[in-house]
Amino acid sequence: MSGNKSELKLWGGRFTGETDPLMNLYNASLPYDQKMYNADLDNSKYYTEGLLKAGLLTQEELDEIHRGLEIIRGEWASNSFVEKDGDEDIHTANERRLGEIIGRHIAGKVHTGRSRNDQVATDMRIYCREALDNMAKILKDLVGAILQRAEQEIDALMPGYTHLQRAQPIRWSHWLNLYATYFTEDFKRLKQIRERLNVSPLGCGALAGHPYGIDREHIAERLGFDGVIGNSLQAVSDRDFVVEILFWCSLFMNHISRFSEDLIIYSTAEFNFVKLSDAYSTGSSLMPQKKNPDSLELLRGKSGRVFGSLSGFMMSLKSIPSTYNKDMQEDKEPLFDALLTVEHSILIATGVISTLTINKESMYKALTMDMLATDLADYLVRKGVPFRETHHISGEAVRKAEELNLSGIDKISVEQYKEIDSRFGDDVVDVFDFEVSVERRTATGGTAKSAVLKQIQKLRAELSS
Q: Annotated catalytic sites, by residue?
A: 163, 284
Q: Burial level of 22, CB count in 10 A (0-12/13-18/19+)? A: exposed
With residue 450 as reference, give the H or E element that holds it.
helix 449-464
Return the closest-CA partner of residue 108 out of 71, 72, 49, 56. Answer: 56
Q: How many CB atoms lie within 10 A of CB 323?
A: 19
Q: How many Å apart are CA 432 and CA 411, to the nearest integer?
A: 10
How many CB atoms within 10 Å of residue 80?
8
φ, ψ at 260 (rounded to 5°): -65, -40
CA atoms within 13 A on the CB side of 168: 16
3-class SS letters over 384-442: CCCHHHHHHHHHHHHHHHHHCCCCCHHHCCHHHHHHHCCCCCHHHHHHCCHHHHHHCCC
* Chain centre distance of CA 418: 55
What DSSP element (H or E) covers 299?
A: helix 294-317
Q: Where are the alpha helices (DSSP H) in 90-171?
A: 90-102, 104-107, 116-152
Those residues whose C-beta lies under 8 Å from the C-beta of residue 308, and which sit 6 or more positions away, are 334
- Residues whose CB falls within 8 Å of the CB of residue 77, separated by 6 or more in sequence, listed in order: none
Pairing of strands 157-162, 357-358: unpaired
